[in-house]
Structure 1
C-alpha cells in the first residue's frame, strides 16, 4: 500500500472519530429538549461525565477487553492500558486502514454511546451518584465484553463457519441494543416520573421545554451517523463508504416520513417529536446492515423502523414504563429490527442468517439484562437510585447542582 492511500484512510477515520464525538452534542440536545427546564443541567452533566469517563475507562481496560487477541470467544483480556504495538503506525496494522492510535480513539467514541442511551431513559428522577456508578460498570465492563463477542473475534463472529456468522456492521445490537437493554431494566426498576400516569392508568404527556433544541440534536445525530456508519468501513474505500452513506441517509429519511405519516393517521396531528424519533429509528435500523443493502432495501428498513417507533412508543406507555425520550423504542426495538433485517434484506438474506442474527440478539439481551439488573438492583438496595419527591418536583438542577440552567428565565415547571 502506498503512503498516500494509507494517509487518506487514516485521515478519513480521524474525521469519522470527530463526527462520532460530535454525536454526544446531539444526544445532549435531544435529551434536554424533550425534558423539562428544571433538569437541564443534570442531563448535561451526565452527558459530559459519560464521554469523559468513557474514554478513560476504554484506555484503562475496555479496549483490551473488547479486542483481547487470542481468547476463548467469550471473555478475554489483553492487559491494562494501551501500548503501541510493533508496526502500529504503518500499513501493517489493520490492513492499512488506520493506525493503532486512531483505532483506539474511534472505538472509544462508540463505548460511551451505550451509557448515553440510558441517560435519556432515566432522565428527571435518577440519583446522579447511582447513575455514575452504573456508567462506570456498564461502559467499563459490559459493553466491551459484548463487543468482543463479534468485533473482537468472539463466538458470534464464528457461528456458522466461514460463510456464516452474526453480522452487525456498526452496532444496531452491539452498541444500540446494549444501551437499550440497560435502559429497559433501569426504567423498570426506577419507576415513572410523578404525574406521568394518571389515576386511570393512562399515560399523560410531559412536554419537553425546548423542541428546537431537540430537533437540532436529531440533525446533529444524523450528521454524526456519517461517521458512525461511514467509519465502520474501517478505511476510506470509495465504493463501500459512499454506499454506506447513501443507505444510512435513505433509511433515516424514510424512517422520519414513515413515523410522521403513521402518527398523523393515528393521532390526527403533525407530531414533530414522532418524526424526529422516526429519523433516529431509521438510523439505528440501518446500522447493522448499511454495508449490505441496496438503496431501495435501505428505504424499506427505514419505513418499517418508522412504524416501529410509533407502535413501540405506544407499547411502552401501555405497559406503564416511563421513557422521556423514547430511548428504548429507538435503540432497543429498532436495534432488534435492524439486526433481523440483515437476514431479510441485502447480500446475506436467508433463514440461516436470520438464525445467526437471532443468536446475537438473544445472547446480547440475556447478558445485558442480567448484568444491568444486578448493577441497578444492588444500587437500589444500598444507596437508592431515585431522588426524593421534593427533589423531583423542584428539579434536579437546584438540588444536585445548586444552579439554574436559565438563570434569567424561570419557567412554570419548577
Structure 2
C-alpha cells in the first residue's frame, strides 16, 4: 500500500467520523428544543427531528446534492448528480463521492433543524414535512451551489465561507424568521395590550445537555470541513471554534448579569451557540484573538436581537433567528475584516487587503439572507394552498404531542386533559 492510499484511507475515516459527529448534533437539537418548549410539545420536537434526518437525507440524495454540487454551465445550479449519478468528476478527489455526499448530507439536515425551532409548538406536522422537502431539495442546495460549488457565481467572486456561517446558518436563520412571522405567535404569547408573556422552558437541564452535544458536534462541523485528516489547519480550526464559543458564552453570562441583574440561563445557552455560529465561516482564516472577538460580538448581538424580535411580537421559541441568522451574518462579515494573509485569495480589511473581500462577503450575505427569507415565505404560501400550515386552536391548547401525535411525552395513569378548561384560555 503506497502513501497515497494511506492518505486517502485516513481522509475517508476522518470525513465519515466528522459526518457522524454532525449527525449527532440532531440529538442536540432535539434535546435543546424539547427543553425550551413546553412539556406538551416535546414529542412534536422529536418527531420533527426524525423528519429532518429521514426526509432530508432522502431528498438530498435524490435531487438536492445534484442542484448543489452537480456540474453546470451557468454558475447558478447544478445539473448532474441526481441519485449520485452523472458527472461528478469535479468533486474532491481525495475521498469518494459517497463519502463527500455523506458529509454534506449531515449539513443539509442541520439547515432544516434551524427552522424547526422557530415554528415549534404550532406548525402542522404535514406542512412541516413539505417544508423540509423544499428546504433540503431546492432552497439550501441552490444557494449552497452559489457559495461552495467550484462554478458557483459567489465562489467565483471570491466569497469565503469555510463551514457555513452564511450557507447554512444565515440561510437557515432568515428562513426561520420568515416562517415564524408567517405562522404567527403562539396563543397567549403576546397580550392584546402589547404585553409580552413569558413562556418558561419546560426543562433547562435537558436544553443544556442539548447545547453541550451541539458544542461537541461543532468540532466535526468545522474541523471536518477540511475534508482531510492530514490538513495541518485542523488544530487551529478547533482552537478558534473553542475560543469563539467560550467567548460567546462568557459574554452572555456577564451581559445578562448587567442587563437583567442575573445570569439568564437560556441566553447563556444560546450565547455559546451564537459564538459557534459566528466562527463557522472564518474558523480556518482568522487569528485566536479575532475568534474571541467574533464570539463575544455574536453573543451580545444574539441577546439584543432576541429582545428586538420580542418587541415586534415575533415569536421564536428557541431563538433560532437570533442565534443563527444574526450570528451567521456577523461571522460572514467578520471574514472580510479578519482573514489573515495567505489563508484566502483576498486578505481581510484589517490586514491591509482592502475592501474587496468585505464587499464580496457582504454581497453574499445579503443574497443568501434574502433568498432564505423569500423562498421560505413562498414555500409556506404554496403549502397553505393544499393544507393548513398551523394546527387548530384546540390542538395547540392541548399540545401537539396529544393533538397531532396522540401521545404525551410524560404520562401517568391518572393524567387527563380538560379540553373545556383549556378552551377558556385567552
User: Which category describes the TM-score, using the shorter chain as reference length?
Assistant: over 0.9
Cα deviation, 1:144-193, whole Å, max 9, x if unaligned, reads 1011101112000111xxxxx11110001101111111111111111101
Q: Is the 8 A contact 2:72 2:79 kept in 1?
A: no
Shift of residue 404, structure 1, vs aligned partner: 1.1
> Matched residues in 2 for 1:237 and 1:314: separation?
44
2:416 matches 1:400: no
1:361 equivalent to 2:343? Answer: no
Instruction: Write out per-residue CA displacement over residues 356-400 of structure 1, whole angstroms, 9 at most, x where no aligned residue.
Output: 011111111222222111111222344221111111111011111
Give the aligned length: 404
Contact 1:172/1:336 (<8 A) preserved: yes
Alpha-carbon contact 2:51-2:132 (below 8 Å) kept: no
- Name the CA distance, whole Å, in 1 between partners of 2:197 and 2:318: 14
d(CA) in 1 for partners of 2:78, 2:339: 32
1:263-412 alignment runs, 5 A limit: 263-347=256-340, 348-350=347-349, 351-408=355-412
Given candidates 120, 127, 130, the residue that maps to 2:127 is 130
Structure 2 counterpart of 1:162? none
Kept after mapping to 2: 8 A contact 1:30/1:213: yes
Please list, as runs of the form range in 1=range in 2, the aligned pairs for 1:45-60 lying within 5 A after superposition: 45-60=47-62
Instruction: Confirm or deny: 8 A CA contact 1:37 1:411 kept in the other structure.
Output: no
Q: 1:260 to 1:412 in 2, by over 3 A?
A: farther
Matches of 2:315 and 2:417, distance apart in 1? 22
Distance 1:291 1:56 in 2: 31
Residue 7 of structure 1 deviates from its aligned partner by: 1.3
- What is the rounded CA distance, in whole Å, between the counterparts of 1:148 and 1:20 in structure 2? 20
Asked if residue 143 in structure 1 is aligned to residue 140 in structure 2, the reply is: yes
Does structure 1 conserve the Cα–Cα contact (< 8 Å) formed by 2:80 and 2:87? no
- Offset, 1:70: 3.5
Instruction: Say whether residues 1:200 and 2:202 are aligned partners.
Output: no
Q: Distance in 2 between matches of 1:50 and 1:2?
A: 36
Deviations for 1:90-127, whole angstroms, at most 9, x for unmatched residues?
xx97242x222110100011111111111100000111
C-alpha distance in 2, partners of 1:361/1:411?
A: 49
How far apart, in 1, do the equivalents of 2:234 and 2:12 lie?
A: 14
1:250 aligned partner: 243
How far apart are 1:198 and its partner, in Å? 2.0
Q: Bigger shift: 198-207 or 312-321?
A: 198-207
**Distance apart, 1:229 and its partner CA:** 0.4
Residue in 2 aligned with 1:77? 79
Name the structure 2 match of 1:222. Answer: 215
Deviation at 1:85, TM superposition (A): 7.3
Report if the CA contact (8 A) 1:84-1:100 is conserved: no
Post-superposition shift, 1:202? Answer: 2.7
Change (3 A) 1:330 1:324: same
Counterpart residue number, 1:119: 116
Deviation string, structure 1 residues 259-286 (Cα, Å, up to 9, x no partner):
1111110011121111110000000000
**Within 2, Cα distance between the matches of 1:52 and 1:95?**
28
Q: Unaligned regions of 5+ residues in structure 2, if any?
A: 341-346, 350-354
2 CA distance for matches of 1:379 and 1:282? 34
Tell me which residue corresponds to 2:9: 7
Query: Does structure 2 conserve the Cα–Cα contact (< 8 Å) formed by 1:121 and 1:328?
Result: yes
Q: How far 1:412 sits from its partner (Å)?
A: 9.8
Q: Normalization by structure 2: what TM-score?
A: 0.91
Deviations 1:12-52 (CA, angstroms, capped at 9, x unpaired): 11110110000000001000000001011111001011101
**Tell me, which stretches of 5 or more residues in structure 1 are unaligned?**
160-164
Partner-residue secondary structure (3-state), 1:209: coil
Secondary structure of 2:84's counterpart equals: coil
Stretch of structure 1 that moved more, 252-261 or 63-72: 63-72
Q: What is the TM-score of this pair, normalised by structure 1?
A: 0.94
Is the 2:43–2:409 Cα contact (8 Å) retained in structure 1?
Answer: yes
The equivalent of 1:184 in structure 2 is 177
